[in-house]
Chain A
């Protein structure tokens, strides 16, 4: 089925390197969310895109984190100069009528 897809599924990187995580939302969904899920924690909101409106970046933990959404579809979350505390599962969700559909996530490990 045409669900939310994320790539890569796993990413191992060295401290200080930049990483890019990709999200392909469900076609036609105008809303897109990024979350971070750390071990034993709930989902931490990172950023929200809605159509052509300015994104809600209020959840980004530092200026090393950024995201963009091209053409109202694919989104990329970029983490610059990764730190060990960035290790987590990064989840993307697209939304229709307040219901979020989640991708399988990208597990990021920073060594």
Chain B
């Protein structure tokens, strides 16, 4: 079965520090991959997506992610975190050729300390 794993439930970083949020997926082929951010009381906003081509993708707000086929991973990174980055981050895959569904991870909550 297809699945998305975000192993870190909660991460705390200092403002200005670098950030990496992990995402692993389980699927037999290369899926479409997404990272979304959800601020409190808000809907999800797309940060970046990977469909094909260059495995390092750039997104909004200074985020980037790298697709590594050998590790079935799509980790999100940011070189210098800002206090406004505190939010919930979701990795997602899909839609897959087995249906219309997007599969989301359970999310990583990011706290930024001054």
Contact = CB atoms under 8 A, between A and B. Distances in A.
A52 to B, nearest CB: 15
Contacts of B100: 48, 50, 56
Interface residues of B, number: 24
Interface in B82-97: 90, 92, 95
Interface of B: 4, 32, 34, 36, 41-46, 49, 51, 90, 92, 95, 99-107
Nearest to A107: B41
Given A91-B43, A99-B49, A58 B107 contact: no
Contact of A104 (B34, B36, B43): B43
A19 interface: no
Of A41, A43, A91, A103, the most chain B CB neighbours within 10 A belong to A43
Given A40-B106, A41-B106, A43-B90, A102 B99 contact: no
Interface residues of A, number: 23
B43 A48 contact: no
B49 A42 contact: no
A91 B36 CA distance: 14
Given A98-B32, A99-B49, A45 B102 contact: yes
